[in-house]
């Protein structure tokens, strides 16, 4: 990939441009994690759950520099109405028009409700929010969300916090191939190698939290994610083409070479 192509390769969400394709998710927060995400992983977007900012003795916003984009989420919402109310409060607290819509009524597997997510997205987009919905990867749902004004689609790779990687890889690939807004893999990424694989598929960015927050050396793991995401993106831009998964193809030409035994 030439330097000129790399320099122009920006992530654009709702008209805002970013050079980093790593997003720090919410859930397990510490000063070390946030500092490492910014300085080692080079994150420019950090997710904030409203409940994390309104409970406890410390305000998470105090740890986040002004040049970092705050992405509030509606974590804890089980209906569209709750998500909409949470989004409005979050905008007042953070000053950010970005919102990650999470509607998760299922408390056992933490699976998002695509139908309720669509309802919330349609209303919030009309109110000027830059809506980034978290969904089960489904092409029809994704298309409806884009039509409703979603700025991105954020399919889960695996259930939240499981670190199982790209369990839904084939479904995510369909979204990458068919959806015109950025597809950002969210939830389930447990290793930098999994992040690299997702980026090679053509996803626009990767969100992670647990795998970094629970690392023995958080700064080193943050840097590993940065390098993996950059490598995966470069591999995608190099356009090697789809690998044929059946048969065998010689890596060197066989023309003129005797195949007699």
What residues are labeled active site?
Answer: 100
Q: From CA 202, how far away is CA 237, in angstroms rounded?
A: 8
Asked if residues 51 and 90 have their Cβ atoms less than 8 Å apart, the reply is no
- Number of C-beta neighbours around residue 126 at 10 A: 11
Q: From CA 259, how far away is CA 255, in angstroms rounded?
A: 10
Which of 114, 107, 158 is closest to 133 using CA atoms?
114
Which of 137, 40, 49 is closest to 93 using CA atoms?
49
- Number of C-beta neighbours around residue 153 at 10 A: 29
Q: From CA 88, how far away is CA 249, in angstroms rounded?
A: 56
């Amino acid at each position: 990939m030439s330097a000129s192509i790399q320099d122009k390769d920006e992530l654009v969400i709702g008209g805002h441009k970013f050079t980093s394709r790593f997003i720090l998710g919410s859930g397990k927060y510490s000063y070390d994690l946030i500092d490492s995400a910014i300085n080692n992983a080079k994150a420019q977007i950090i997710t904030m759950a409203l409940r994390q900012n309104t409970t406890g003795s410390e305000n998470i916003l105090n740890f986040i520099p002004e040049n970092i984009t705050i992405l509030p989420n509606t974590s804890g919402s089980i209906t569209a109405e709750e998500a909409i109310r949470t989004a409005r409060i979050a905008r007042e607290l953070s000053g950010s028009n970005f919102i990650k819509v999470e509607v998760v009524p299922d408390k056992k597997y933490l699976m998002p409700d695509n139908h309720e997510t669509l309802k919330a997205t349609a209303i919030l987009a009309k109110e000027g929010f830059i809506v980034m919905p978290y969904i089960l990867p489904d092409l029809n749902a994704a298309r409806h969300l884009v039509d409703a004004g979603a700025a991105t689609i954020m399919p889960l790779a695996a259930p939240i916090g499981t670190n199982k990687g790209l369990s839904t890889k084939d479904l995510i690939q369909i979204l990458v191939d068919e959806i015109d807004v950025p597809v950002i893999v969210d939830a389930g990424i447990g290793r930098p190698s999994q992040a690299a694989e997702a980026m090679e598929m053509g996803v626009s960015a990767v969100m992670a939290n647990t795998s970094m927050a629970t690392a023995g050396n958080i700064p080193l793991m943050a840097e590993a994610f940065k390098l993996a995401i950059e490598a995966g993106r470069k591999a995608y831009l190099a356009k090697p083409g789809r690998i044929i998964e059946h048969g065998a193809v010689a890596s060197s030409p066989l023309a003129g070479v005797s195949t007699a035994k």
